[in-house]
Every structure is written in C-alpha cells, then in structure tokens.
Amino acid sequence: MEPAIQVQGLRKEFRLRTKQPGLKASIRGLLRPEYRTVEAVRSISFQIEPGEVLAFIGPNGAGKSTTIKLITGILYPDAGTIRVLGLDPHRSRKALAYRIGTVFGQKSQLWFHLPPADSFQLLGSIYDMSRKQTQTRVGFLSEVFEIGDLMDQPVRKLSLGQRIRCEMAASLIHSPQILFLDEPSIGLDVVVKQRIRDLIGRINREEGVTIFLTSHDAGDIEKICRRAMVINHGSIVWDGSVKELKYSLLNRRIVDVKMDGPATIEMPGVTVVKRKEYALKLDVDLSIATTESVITALMRQSAIQDITISSAPMEEVISHIYARGKGDT
C-alpha cells in the first residue's frame, strides 16, 4: 500500500532580519540591514502509513509547524522531496487539498460573526460538494461532534471547546484521508481535552483517517497516538512507539512498594520520593541501579505485600526531551 506521507531529505531555511535595540541601531538597520539564516528543518526523512496515528512533538521553535506547513504545501522546501498520498504538495496543491484536512489550534477557518452552519455550507462549496452532499456530511459530523445545538449560534459566542469541535468538523467536511492537527487542545480544560481526544480516536477508527498530531500535551500523545516522532533543532531525534518513548528515553522507573514491616533503602541511583508507614515510593535511575537490586534489598528487610513498577509520567518524558534540547544549545 502507498504510504500516506513520505518525506526524504526535507530542508527549510528562513532568513531573519536582525536588529540591535535602540534608535541608533534602527537607523543603521534601515540603511544596512543585517540578516541571519535559521535552519528550521534540517534534512529530515520519515514515512507514515495509512491509518497511523502519529504524535509529532518537540519544544517551541523545534520545527514542528514548519514541517506540517511543508507537508501540506503551505511552504516551499529548500531541498528534499515530499509525497502525500502519492502527490507532490506544491505541484498538486489543489488535488491534495481535496484529500487532506487541517486544524490549526491558533487559526480559524470559521467565520467569526456567522453561525457554523453557514461556514459549513460555504466550505462544502469550496470543496465542490453539492448542497445535498454537504447537508448529509454536516448531519453526520454534527452527530459525531455533538454540535447540533451550536449550528445556529455565531462563532463569536461559542466557548473555545465548542469552537474547536466545530473547527474539527469543518476540517472533515470533505472526508479527508489525512488529518493534520496542530495543537488542537491548546487552552482547553481537562474534560474538553478528553472529549477531543475521544473524537480524534473515533475518526481514526471509523473513517480510517491518518492522524498527524502536534501537541505539547502529554495526555494527547499518550492517549491518542501509537507512534511518536520527536523533533528538536530541526532534526528528528526520536522515532518509535509511544510506549518505547516512555520506557527508553527516560531511563527511570517509579517503584511503589508496600512492605509488611519497616524498611529503608540507601543505594546509589535510588531516591525515596515518599514514605508513609510501611509504604515507599522510589525513583530508580536505571543507568546506576536496577529494579531487581532494589527489590532484593527491600526483601532482605521485610516481606513485600504489594509492588507496582511504572515508567515516568509522560509529562516528565517530554520535559526531559525539552530540557535536553536546551542543554544542546
């Protein structure tokens, strides 16, 4: 089967004008402008199969949005090849637009002063759909996204969560095969975030839509995505399953243990995070100690009633990646 997205040696540079602070520097900059080149994407290559749900993560300014914009045909690459559903996004921009959908958390495709129903009708017309086709599709999407009650309210009166649900419905109006979501849960509360995640999962399962998601939210990545790709300083620094990301990238385990009697542990690489009577929460650095040696040391002191070994929370994995990124600079 043809890959949904195929990227080879993709590179993009931006030329930025630099200016020192102050009026003098402003005048100098006017006469003799200075520029510096920023390499936003540094020769990246990857492939995404149809139906995959991919998390594309990285700190601010890592190159996530630039990569999405290159893949969707918004930006022209400096080098490299891109094939989306077998099409070159720049040579076949219009043909590709019928087959992909996008949700930019920061940009709206709905008209602010008009109800979503009007925007949906217009979008149907933009995608060459007949009035009947649009109505059928809008009926289906309003049921999935539970936006039936919002259809006649001006967008400016909707809450952020309601608006994002409408934005997602708008991006799916033409039944795209790939959905690009650039930080869809930005600014949403926990309940709404969970709802949006469920909806993304449902669209992937029921319509087979390939999902390409960028987010800073650990929950989005952990709960929706099976594969993760980490980009930093324009290069892909990790590509694998979300499970592996959690287990390998952060070489730590959290051990929650309930003992029969008093126990303590002093071992290099092991930190006691919490202690309550005979219960201990330990943070084990696997590059120094092993979970086996920790358990053995505890068992020598007392019997173990219950034990849970888990990897570090996704939030920590992500902040570790970002912190590592800062360290590199």
The residue from 32, 91, 94, 326 that contacts another protein (CB under 8 A) is 94
Rounded Cα–Cα distance for residues 35 and 133 (Å): 50
Asked if 118 touches another protein (CB under 8 A), the answer is yes
Contact 296, 267 (CB under 8 A): no
Nearer to another protein by Cβ, of 14 and 238: the residue is 14
Task: Please report where in the chains the tokens 């995404």 appear, as a residue.
Answer: 48
Rounded Cα–Cα distance for residues 74 and 194 (Å): 30
Task: Please report where in the chains the tokens 């201990």 appear, as a residue.
Answer: 280
Rounded Cα–Cα distance for residues 58 and 229 (Å): 8
* Count of positions on this chain that bind another protein (CB under 8 A): 36
The residue from 59, 73, 77, 325 that contacts another protein (CB under 8 A) is 73
Asked if 114 touches another protein (CB under 8 A), the answer is yes
Nearer to another protein by Cβ, of 83 and 253: the residue is 83
The residue from 113, 132, 300, 326 that contacts another protein (CB under 8 A) is 113
Asked if 111 touches another protein (CB under 8 A), the answer is yes
Asked if 185 touches another protein (CB under 8 A), the answer is no
Rounded Cα–Cα distance for residues 329 and 322 (Å): 11
x/- binding map, residues 142-181, to another protein, per CB under 8 A?
A: ------------xxx-------------------------
DSSP state of 313: P
Rounded Cα–Cα distance for residues 213 and 180 (Å): 6
Contact 68, 30 (CB under 8 A): no
The residue from 6, 8, 109, 175 that contacts another protein (CB under 8 A) is 109
The residue from 36, 107, 132, 326 that contacts another protein (CB under 8 A) is 107
Q: Which residues pair with 271 in a beta bridge?
A: 283
H/E stretch holding 286: none
The residue from 52, 55, 69, 253 that contacts another protein (CB under 8 A) is 69
Residues that bind another protein (CB under 8 A): 14, 17, 65, 69, 72-76, 93-95, 97-98, 100, 102, 104, 106-114, 118, 121-122, 125-128, 154-156
